[in-house]
């Protein structure tokens, strides 16, 4: 089969012919209909420091996908050939205290699809039965393939109250953009979107942000304090990873509010905890992964019911073979989600 | 001034000329722009058993309103002449354990506007400063006057999770209808509305119910179990007060779900607690009043932002002098909210 | 091996010689050190209506136990020979919406050890790997064997806030008695215990109840309202299943409080929902099973740390062969937990 | 009357003869039985940078107290002469969004007793009626006077789950010491106390800490990871304000756990948010003040019921005139709470 293979510990990847994998015990084999590029895939492609330390080539890239089960391994009981599925990409141990408490997203022994084992930028992918997610047939493959990052957005937005609340979302990458839609469909009365890229801010408008701020030309602190009469917003979602935002976000969150962090700053950031966190009663939440399966259920419900429309976020559809073009789009920043089709876009 | 007065302990009410009241210490005088008829007002008007035991005529009726402050009493600091306001109708003691815990809606010493003191079906009404609610200027008086019952709807809907959840609302009186809108604007993926009145079910559709069931012609248990593949919905909101619904609601709520009660059954109802509540892990919540001021803030945000549109619920606009016509509409059941205007509809 | 066998669909049980079972795939074989009698076992023994409808003899009885793993089946990875274990007795499907949401205690497809498959009143018992619970070595077998019903107590007590709260526990069977200890160790400032059996009320005192009420000689409503100056307690735990209590519990819970139900009334009970639940803002919670594994973790922590001492609840230690004597004690009501030892008490 | 007066903007304070204050409208006059020294009082006494910017001498110092109402101002309805009271020291506006949401501890317009108005280091003090707290008569004045800082401890400890949880408390000043007792009485299964002062660690043992660590001689990270088998504790309470602790606390909290901050670091602290907060799903909570009145109710219940014993924390009893000796004890660090008696210790 065709697969995008990280063959060597160096930038780039190749389109390789590899054997179709076989499902082991309690695993399933999925024929991939659509697979989407994540920022993590881009990190592996450009071979940044994180990738150098974590990835062991050769390995098939990719982890976001939707497809159809074509073979099941021994002992599989909850999935069958023909099922239309996606997958939770964190393969967890089930036995650490976090797993026992239902906090699988912080399992002590997580292994990740496309990072620690072969991934989905291929015609076929093997996933453990317990990671299989059954898609609603009303959700098309391109949208179904981005349920995994949508889950990050949902986990972040719904980490606190949204209903009748005001929010500021820093960073309009795909997850930030999806977070706008999630917040609005879950009762947020005001959502401001902040970024430095007008292409992405245009998508933010389509996702129904109530205010968009290009922080290169407008001070988000000033704009948000003016809008909230100096009080600040109920919640800040930090989805950019930019250190600069740490100097803004505590100024725009109201006393008693929350700051929810999904973005990953490259370096330690200094915070004035006394004035900005303790004295103002702020809660800071670190968010990783998705709540399994709470987050997935919410995403499926919002998508299948039509409450949430992610089509503005999906900006590019490419043949799998054009993966390099997709990676270049990611480098440029002028894209939302890029979907790759192993059978070809026009299929 | 003109006022709808419950003059005697008997059915009916009169339009009387009474002196304009004066605000006492920590009270304000409001010129009423719009006032709406509540089911409680109707109970007082028809003089049912509850009214006989509670109301001490003569008393001015009514408690839902919006208007402008025209005079303030001594010691008032948080409101001023010219403010556009409505009011929380529960006047609480502030010192019982419930008030100390922020559960003012179950204060042990509540007194109610229009029930225990003169109300708002009049050109002017006096309310305590601490009950004053500042309206958003984007909300017109008719809608602002129904924020109080909207608060009941919000309190009921938001008593549990809504985001990505499925719900069944029994009873499409005005509060049930508003609850549909609140649920949909707060992320409910599926809302079924059940009633026996097609007039009200038509409004339910306008409020964006995903399914409407006239339980005279269709079995809601069958319809909802079919829709949910036998599982049941995440939440049932009981807003009808009909005993019959108690025989249906435990069958349509999923194991682990919630049943939230706002309706008031006329008599005790027998429940199979073992099979229907304990063994299925059901939570039953009794809801009264509004969380002060959490509920009001949410309502104002949802209305002012446009996330929630209540115009389909407001079906009739009448001069205050036509209050009897409004009460007849309430008796017929073929209405949503009926708004009365002391200055006249056409003003 | 020796086993207490429900051989026929009739009252009683026999001590039989049966083959030692073998663990299948993903199962383990446990040598039982101590096993305790549950009310459910007693129902099966006396062959009440519930038992007639649910149990399919022949079947080995019992489900509460502690012991040592002596053999593991194929594919077991998280347990090994020599492990000191107990077991969650609900074998769940893992795939229904409740399981996906972490609400395994209300799984749609639960099968129960000793009810739907062979149990633990025997020298050996087979349990699924995923139901195995690793005991803390500081907890002796008799106490470890009652962690399962302790879990019911914890689930009930911790279904709401306890810290600085006042509580009334109706029913001082073993789970009610354990609930007293859990409540006191988790910050309850006042716990009243109500029963009609002085033997059990004496144990309630040892569990540190602040007030014990024999409701045959003292009115619990009067006593509790007097103690709380007419306000009522923050939480009522109904652990008796007596219909009579439903007429008392809404009078002793404060407005805004919770009523948590674990007891199973034999018949439907009529409740005045308007006055007792809706107008007073009461929450009623049905509790079944244990939160897997949250509840177990809390129990292990409380027991192993010494915060919770259950020794007063364990009143009788018998050889397994004396199971009939244990059942007679259960019938009399003059016991707490009765522990059976397959190897003999004196071992 | 005698009062400890901050007369000039310089270190120190004097014992002055000043007029007995009179209660204004909605205020009460309290005869002080016992008043305790807070770290804030010490800051004002030594005249540190914070004090220089905030305090406007002349002003009577002190804010923690217990006493008896001897006079009430006009309009007071909820308190009367003879009542045994203490006071919430934050005088809030009641009208900002935080006050409306029940988050009075982060009111935008807070004024503080003994900081922004005359305080309680005196024979008499005036407090607003709405700040009056009625003490339980079972609680003696010395203990009643420290309910206010106890409230900070309760707010911090109960900001998350404690029942069956493991905790590490950094900083054994009086609030840290009280937090140990609160945590243990509210179900924490393991509480480690960390400080650099053996005098205070000895009190920590008396408060029933399960482990005490002098971090000058023992590495708390190593000790806590060893105790928790490398997993970390469920919650860290940071009550020292030491920047050094920020380098330790993220290493000892388990993934998914909480870090609750009450201490005030003198300067900004750099945090590796990516590795230590986001990827591990950590929640950081800033805590200030007390939840009014939730926190106070819990404290009163725990103290009056005997669940919580604070006597080990109260180390010194002095005549009010010996305030300077009390301040010197605070400087030395070799004290818990220091209580001052306007009528003399021996009274």
Look up residue B161 and give its two tokens: 């999770």
Contacts of D296 in chain B (CB under 8 A): 100
Kindly list the partner chains of chain B, i.e. chains with 3 or more CB atom pairs below 8 Å.
Answer: A, C, D
**Is 80 exceeded by the pLDDT of residue C258?**
yes
Considering just the CA atoms, what is the radius of gyration of chain B in Å? 20
Q: Where does C201-288 show beta strands of DSSP type E?
A: 211-214, 233-238, 253-261, 269-271, 283-286
Look up residue B31 and give its two tokens: 């010129």
CA distance C324 to C329: 9
Look at residue D347 in the predicted model and tell me its pLDDT: 72
Q: D297 and B101 in contact by Cβ < 8 A?
A: yes
Please tell me the number of Cα atoms within 13 Å of C309 on its side-chain side: 9
Residues linked to residue C167 through DSSP beta bridges, in sequence order: C191, C235
Residues linked to residue C283 through DSSP beta bridges, in sequence order: B285, C258
Any domain includes B231? yes
- Domain hosting residue A65, numbered range: 2-146+310-341
Contacts of C164 in chain D (CB under 8 A): 186, 297-302
CA distance B321 to B5: 11
Q: B286 and C280 in contact by Cβ < 8 A?
A: yes
Contacts of D186 in chain C (CB under 8 A): 163-164, 186-187
Distance from CA of B273 to the nearest CA of D (A): 29
Q: What is the dihedral of CA B301, B302, B305, B307, to 10 degrees?
A: 160
Q: Which residues of chain A have pLDDT under 70?
A: none
Any domain includes C291? no
Q: Mapping DSSP to helix (H, G, I), strand (E, B) and coil, where does residue C204 land? A: helix
Is C139 in the same domain as C8? yes
- Name the residue of chain C whose CA is nearest to B275's CA: C264
For helices C220-227 and C243-252, angle between their N-to-C axes, nearest 10 degrees: 20
Buried b (16+ CB within 10 A) or exposed e, A15-44: eeeeeebebeebbbbbbbbbbbbbebbbbb
Give the Å distances, CA to CA, from C341 to C60, C146, D56.
Answer: 15, 13, 75
Centre a 10 Å sphere on the Cβ of residue A169 and count the other Cβ atoms it contains: 32
DSSP symbols for B206-221: HTT-SEEEETTTS-HH
Q: A299 and B163 in contact by Cβ < 8 A?
A: no
Q: C187 and D305 in contact by Cβ < 8 A?
A: no
> Which of B35, B42, B43, B63 is labelled catalytic?
B43
- Tell me if chain C has a CB within 8 Å of the CB of A75: yes
Any domain includes A304? no
Look at residue C186 in the predicted model and tell me its pLDDT: 98
Distance from CA of D188 to the nearest CA of C (A): 8
Query: In which band, very low, low, confident or very high, does the pLDDT at B311 lie, cut at 50, 70 and 90?
Result: very high
User: Is the Cβ–Cβ distance between C337 and C313 less than 8 Å?
Assistant: yes
- Tell me if chain B has a CB within 8 Å of the CB of D74: no
- Name the residue of chain D whose CA is nearest to A155's CA: D281
Q: Which of A25, A101, A294 sits opposite C294 (nearest CB)?
A: A101
Where residue D10 sits, what CATH number does that domain have? 3.90.180.10
Alpha-carbon torsion A221, A227, A228, A229, what sign? positive
CA distance C289 to C281: 26
CA distance A212 to A196: 10
Look at residue B75 in the predicted model and tell me its pLDDT: 92
List pLDDT tens digits, range B52-91.
999 999 999 999 999 999 999 999 999 999 999 999 999 9
Q: A272 and D272 in contact by Cβ < 8 A?
A: no
pTM score of the predicted model: 0.98
**Is 90 exceeded by the pLDDT of residue B307?**
yes
Mean pLDDT of C13-36: 98
Any domain includes A302? no
Query: In which band, very low, low, confident or very high, does the pLDDT at B346 lie, cut at 50, 70 and 90?
Result: confident
User: Is the Cβ–Cβ distance between D162 and D188 less than 8 Å?
Assistant: yes
CA distance B276 to C298: 28
In eight-state DSSP terms, residue D136 is P
- Tell me if chain C has a CB within 8 Å of the CB of D260: no
> Which of C40, C156, C166, C260 is labelled catalytic?
C40
Give CB contacts under 8 A, 24+ apart, made by A45-51.
A45/A6, A45/A11, A45/A12, A45/A13, A45/A327, A46/A11, A46/A327, A46/A331, A47/A9, A47/A10, A47/A11, A47/A12
Residues linked to residue D269 through DSSP beta bridges, in sequence order: A271
Is A225 in the same domain as A181? yes
Any domain includes A222? yes
> Which of A42, A43, A63, A316 is labelled catalytic?
A43
CB within 8 Å of chain A, chain B residues 187-206: 187, 189-190
Look at residue B193 in the predicted model and tell me its pLDDT: 98
List pLDDT tens digits, range C74-83.
999 999 999 9
Look up residue C95 and give its two tokens: 């795939």
- Tell me if chain D has a CB within 8 Å of the CB of C305: yes
User: Is the Cβ–Cβ distance between C338 and C346 less than 8 Å?
Assistant: no
Q: Which class for A230: exposed (0-12), middle (13-18), buried (19 or more C-beta within 10 A)?
A: exposed
Is B238 in the same domain as B272? yes
- Tell me if chain D has a CB within 8 Å of the CB of C162: yes
Query: In which band, very low, low, confident or very high, does the pLDDT at C347 lie, cut at 50, 70 and 90?
Result: confident
Look at residue A214 in the predicted model and tell me its pLDDT: 98
Q: Which class for C216: exposed (0-12), middle (13-18), buried (19 or more C-beta within 10 A)?
A: exposed
Is D9 in the same domain as D112? yes
Q: What angle do CA D317, D321, D326 make, to 5 degrees?
A: 50
Provide CB contacts within 8 A for C21, sequence distance 6+: C29, C118, C124, C125, C126
Is B109 in the same domain as B203? no
**Is 90 exceeded by the pLDDT of residue C239?**
yes
User: Is the Cβ–Cβ distance between A142 and A153 less than 8 Å?
Assistant: no
Query: Of all residues in chain B, what percent carry a pLDDT higher than 90?
Result: 99
Provide CB contacts within 8 A for D57, sequence distance 6+: D6, D7, D8, D9
Centre a 10 Å sphere on the Cβ of residue A114 and count the other Cβ atoms it contains: 27
Contacts of C75 in chain A (CB under 8 A): 25, 75
Contacts of B301 in chain A (CB under 8 A): 164-166, 189-190
- Only one residue has tokens 């022949």, namely C58
Is B129 in the same domain as B169? no
Helices (H) and strands (E) in chain A, counts: 12, 19
- Name the residue of chain D whose CA is nearest to C210's CA: D305
User: Is the Cβ–Cβ distance between C290 and C150 less than 8 Å?
Assistant: no
Phi/psi at C42 (5° precision): -65, -40
Where residue C279 sits, what CATH number does that domain have? 3.40.50.720
Q: What angle do CA C126, C131, C134 make, to 5 degrees?
A: 95
CA distance A323 to A46: 13
Give the Å distances, CA to CA, from D217 to B92, D194, D198, D249.
Answer: 56, 11, 11, 17
Tens of pLDDT along chain D (347 residues) come to 999 999 999 999 999 999 999 999 999 999 999 999 999 999 999 999 999 999 999 999 999 999 999 999 999 999 999 999 999 999 999 999 999 999 999 999 999 999 999 999 999 999 999 999 999 999 999 999 999 999 999 999 999 999 999 999 999 999 999 999 999 999 999 999 999 999 999 999 999 999 999 999 999 999 999 999 999 999 999 999 999 999 999 999 999 999 999 999 999 999 999 999 999 999 999 999 999 999 999 999 999 999 999 999 999 999 999 999 999 999 999 999 999 999 999 87
Is B218 in the same domain as B334? no
Look at residue D273 in the predicted model and tell me its pLDDT: 98
CA distance D157 to D176: 10
Phi/psi at A90 (5° precision): -90, 115
Alpha-carbon torsion B284, B288, B292, B295, what sign? positive
Please tell me the number of Cα atoms within 13 Å of A259 on its side-chain side: 30
Any domain includes A271? yes
Buried b (16+ CB within 10 A) or exposed e, B273-305: bbebbbbbbbbbbbbbbbbbbbbbbbbbbbbbb
List pLDDT tens digits, range B170-205.
999 999 999 999 999 999 999 999 999 999 999 999
Is A11 in the same domain as A129? yes
Is C172 in the same domain as C114? no
Q: Which of A91, A102, A128 to mutate to test the interface with C (most CBs of C within 10 A)?
A: A102
Residues linked to residue B133 through DSSP beta bridges, in sequence order: B86
CA distance C177 to C170: 10
- How far is Cα of residue A272 from the mean position of the Cα atoms in its chain? 30
- Only one residue has tokens 């091996």, namely C1
Cis bond before residue C340 (omega within 30° of 0):
no
Q: C270 and B269 in contact by Cβ < 8 A?
A: yes
For helices A147-157 and A174-185, angle between their N-to-C axes, nearest 10 degrees: 60
- Tell me if chain A has a CB within 8 Å of the CB of B185: yes
Look at residue A346 in the predicted model and tell me its pLDDT: 84
Is D18 in the same domain as D132? yes
- Tell me if chain D has a CB within 8 Å of the CB of A112: no
Kindly list the partner chains of chain C, i.e. chains with 3 or more CB atom pairs below 8 Å.
Answer: A, B, D
CA distance B4 to C56: 70
Centre a 10 Å sphere on the Cβ of residue C332 and count the other Cβ atoms it contains: 10
Look at residue D284 in the predicted model and tell me its pLDDT: 98
Any domain includes A346? no
The rounded mean pLDDT for chain C is 97
Is A30 in the same domain as A139? yes
Contacts of A151 in chain B (CB under 8 A): none
Known catalytic membership, residue B295: no
User: Is the Cβ–Cβ distance between C263 and C252 less than 8 Å?
Assistant: no
Residues linked to residue D15 through DSSP beta bridges, in sequence order: D4
**Is 80 exceeded by the pLDDT of residue B313?**
yes
Closest by Cα among A125, A185, A115, A110 to A150:
A185
Phi/psi at B85 (5° precision): -135, 160
Provide CB contacts within 8 A for D232, sequence distance 6+: D224, D225, D251, D252, D253, D254, D255, D257
By DSSP bridging, strand A233-238 and strand A253-261 are: parallel
Any domain includes C61? yes
Distance from CA of D308 to the nearest CA of C (A): 9
Contacts of D102 in chain B (CB under 8 A): 102, 294
Is C102 in the same domain as C123? yes
Q: Which of C48, C96, C237, C255 to mutate to test the interface with B (most CBs of B within 10 A)?
A: C255
Q: Which of A25, A95, A293 sits opposite C78 (nearest CB)?
A: A95
Look at residue B25 in the predicted model and tell me its pLDDT: 94
Query: In which band, very low, low, confident or very high, does the pLDDT at C120 lie, cut at 50, 70 and 90?
Result: very high
Q: Which class for B325: exposed (0-12), middle (13-18), buried (19 or more C-beta within 10 A)?
A: middle
Q: A277 and D271 in contact by Cβ < 8 A?
A: no
This complex has an ipTM of 0.97
Known catalytic membership, residue B227: no
Q: Which of B106, B263, B270 sits opposite C281 (nearest CB)?
A: B106
**Is 80 exceeded by the pLDDT of residue B347?**
no
Q: In total, how many domains does chain C have?
A: 2
């Amino acid at each position: 089969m065709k697969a995008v293979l990280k063959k060597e510990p160096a930038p780039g990847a190749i389109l390789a012919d590899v054997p179709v994998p076989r499902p082991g015990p309690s695993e399933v084999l999925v024929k991939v209909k659509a697979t989407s590029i994540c920022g993590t895939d881009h990190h592996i492609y450009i071979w940044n420091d994180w990738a150098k330390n974590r990835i062991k080539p050769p390995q098939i890239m990719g982890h976001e996908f939707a497809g159809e089960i074509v073979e099941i391994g021994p002992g599989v009981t909850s999935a069958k050939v023909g099922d239309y599925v996606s997958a939770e990409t964190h393969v967890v141990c089930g036995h650490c205290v976090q797993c026992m408490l239902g906090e699988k997203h912080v399992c002590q022994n997580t292994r990740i699809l496309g990072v620690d084992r072969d991934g989905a930028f291929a015609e076929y992918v093997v996933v453990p039965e317990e990671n299989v997610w059954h898609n609603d047939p009303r959700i098309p493959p391109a949208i179904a393939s981005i349920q995994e990052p949508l889950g990050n957005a949902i986990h972040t937005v719904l980490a606190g109250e949204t209903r009748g609340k005001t929010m500021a979302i820093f960073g309009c990458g795909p997850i930030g953009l999806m977070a706008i839609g999630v917040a609005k469909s879950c009762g947020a009365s005001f959502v401001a979107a902040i970024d430095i890229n007008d292409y992405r801010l245009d998508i933010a408008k389509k996702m129904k942000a109530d205010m968009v701020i290009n922080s290169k030309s407008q001070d988000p602190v000033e704009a948000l304090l003016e809008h909230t009469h100096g009080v600040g917003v109920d919640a800040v979602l930090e989805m950019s990873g930019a250190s600069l935002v740490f100097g803004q976000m505590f100024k725009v969150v109201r006393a008693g509010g929350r700051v929810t962090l999904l973005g990953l700053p490259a370096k330690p950031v200094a915070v004035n905890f006394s004035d900005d966190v303790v004295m103002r009663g702020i809660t800071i939440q670190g968010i990783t992964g998705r709540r399994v399966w709470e987050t997935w259920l919410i995403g499926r419900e919002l998508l299948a019911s039509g409450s949430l429309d992610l089509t503005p976020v999906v900006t590019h559809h490419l043949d799998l073979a054009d993966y390099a073009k997709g990676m270049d789009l990611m480098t440029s920043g002028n894209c939302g989600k890029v979907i790759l089709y192993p059978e070809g876009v026009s299929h």
